[in-house]
């Protein structure tokens, strides 16, 4: 491969544009960026002041002249300008500030988005500097990134639990056979924890604290007899003063039960609509779990228990979608996976 072709290849990038986190893959380099999908904006001028980790630190802590926000909600763009600015910043970081780079992009999107929402992603990426935009539905990207044999005429089931959506799909021969996208995922779990602490302990906590509780003692299924506990600090709603309470794993598991049940029901509905031959393949191969929600303690065991099918957690669940976009960029075998294509430059 000559110098020009190597340079051209290195300008291609895959993006997992997630509600909670954005990951960027650059061809021939691998994953070069992993940042929270957060932008801090100056209220008066609407000028973006910080992105990613730096901006996330300001959630619930920003001064009055700065607003820290998540520009994506439920897997789709909620703030177009902030999303465009964030993508532009991440392109700049991925290519070390080179202003001449206008990459081809492959972007993962939820399978349930509308044509208007798809168009918004294409326009935001194009305005941010992309020369060409290809969209791939997240369950297909996650399945590829998890190493499932999606090019074969066999049934593969993937459950991708992200920040804004949970994607459940049966894939065969590079395409979806049946799928369901529900807007119940990691953010819903975090919100349920914050509401539980507020309701039962009269304590107001921020999003970052609720996330920490989810990561440390959150669970979907009682794996053993231990009931881990954690001290939580926040603002007492009655006294108005800072206060500390202790919460347990069983309490958090109980408050997550409704959201987890919605995910289980989506899995069951998908299985019920799966053609018999593909269902037999899934029974043999098992179900694959991807996304940040796959790290919720015991969720694989619960899904196995509810469906009777062995459930595996991908080797690197948080990175499955972006790894899938990278494989699509670099391997022409995956020639039928794109949802939409836009060539605007």
**pTM for the full predicted model:** 0.91
Q: Over the stretch 147-156, which tens digit does the pLDDT of each residue have? A: 999 999 999 9
The token pair at 202 is: 């009269």
**CA 143, CA 327: separation in Å to the nearest integer?**
11
| Cβ-proximal residues to 70 (8 Å cutoff; 6+ apart), any chain | 19, 20, 37, 38, 39, 78
Domain residue spans of the chain: 3-141+320-343, 149-184+257-317, 186-255
Q: Over the stretch 256-272, which tens digit does the pLDDT of each residue have? A: 999 999 999 999 999 99
φ, ψ of residue 52 in degrees (nearest 5): 65, -135
Q: Over the stretch 39-91, which tens digit does the pLDDT of each residue have? A: 999 999 999 999 999 999 998 888 989 999 999 998 899 999 999 999 999 99
**What does the pLDDT read at residue 308?**
97
Same fold flag, 3-141+320-343 and 149-184+257-317:
yes
What is the 8-class DSSP label of residue 11?
Answer: T
Average pLDDT (220-228) is 91
Which one is the CATH code of 149-184+257-317: 2.60.120.10, 3.90.380.10, 3.30.420.80, 3.30.420.40? 3.30.420.40
Name which residue leads in pLDDT, 122 or 10.
122
- For the ranges 101-105, 235-239, 268-272, 333-337, the lowest mean pLDDT is seen at 333-337
**Band of residue 334 on the pLDDT scale cut at 50, 70, 90:** confident
Average pLDDT (279-284) is 97
Average pLDDT over the chain, rounded to an integer: 92
The DSSP result for 64-80, as a single string, is TTEEEE-SEETTEES-H
Asked if 209 and 234 count as a contact pair (C-beta separation under 8 A), the reply is yes
Strands (E) across 113-152 are located at 132-137
CATH of domain 186-255: 3.90.640.10
**What does the pLDDT read at residue 5?**
45
Fold of 3-141+320-343: Nucleotidyltransferase; domain 5 (3.30.420)
Integer-rounded Cα Rg, in Å, for the chain is 21
Q: What angle, 0 to 180 degrees and rounded to 10, lies between the N-to-C axes of helices 299-307 and 249-272?
A: 40
Percent of the chain with pLDDT over 90: 83
313: left (phi over 0), alpha (psi -120 to 50) or beta: beta
**What does the pLDDT read at residue 116?**
93
**What does the pLDDT read at residue 1?**
40
């Amino acid at each position: 491969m000559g110098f020009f072709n190597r340079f051209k290849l290195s300008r291609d990038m895959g993006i997992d544009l997630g509600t909670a986190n954005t990951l960027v893959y650059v061809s021939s380099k691998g994953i070069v960026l992993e940042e929270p999908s957060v932008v801090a904006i100056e209220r008066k001028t609407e000028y973006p002041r910080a992105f990613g980790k730096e901006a996330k630190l300001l959630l619930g802590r920003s001064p009055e002249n700065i607003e820290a926000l998540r520009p994506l909600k439920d897997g789709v763009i909620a703030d177009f300008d902030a999303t465009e600015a964030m993508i532009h910043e991440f392109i700049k970081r991925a290519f070390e500030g080179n202003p001449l780079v206008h990459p081809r992009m492959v972007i993962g999107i939820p399978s349930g988005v509308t044509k208007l929402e798809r168009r918004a992603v294409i326009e935001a990426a194009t305005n941010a500097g992309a020369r060409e935009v290809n969209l791939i539905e997240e369950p297909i990207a996650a399945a590829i990134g998890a190493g499932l044999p999606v090019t074969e005429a066999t049934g593969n089931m993937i459950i991708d639990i992200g920040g804004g959506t949970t994607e459940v799909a049966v894939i065969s021969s590079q395409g979806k056979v049946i799928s369901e996208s529900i807007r119940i995922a990691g953010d819903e779990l975090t919100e349920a924890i914050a509401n539980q602490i507020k309701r039962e302990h009269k304590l107001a906590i921020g999003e970052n604290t609720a996330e920490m509780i989810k990561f440390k003692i959150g669970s979907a299924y009682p794996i053993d007899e231990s009931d881990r506990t954690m001290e939580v600090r926040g603002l007492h709603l009655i006294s108005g003063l800072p206060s500390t309470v202790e919460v347990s794993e069983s309490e958090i598991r109980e408050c997550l039960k409704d959201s987890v049940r919605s995910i289980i029901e989506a899995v069951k509905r998908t299985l019920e609509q799966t053609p018999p031959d593909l269902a037999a393949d899934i029974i043999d191969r098992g179900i694959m779990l991807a996304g940040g929600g796959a790290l919720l303690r015991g969720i694989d065991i619960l899904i196995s228990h509810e469906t009777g099918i062995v459930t595996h957690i991908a080797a690197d669940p948080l990175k499955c979608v972006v790894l899938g976009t990278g494989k699509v960029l670099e391997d022409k075998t995956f020639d039928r996976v794109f949802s939409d294509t836009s060539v605007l430059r």
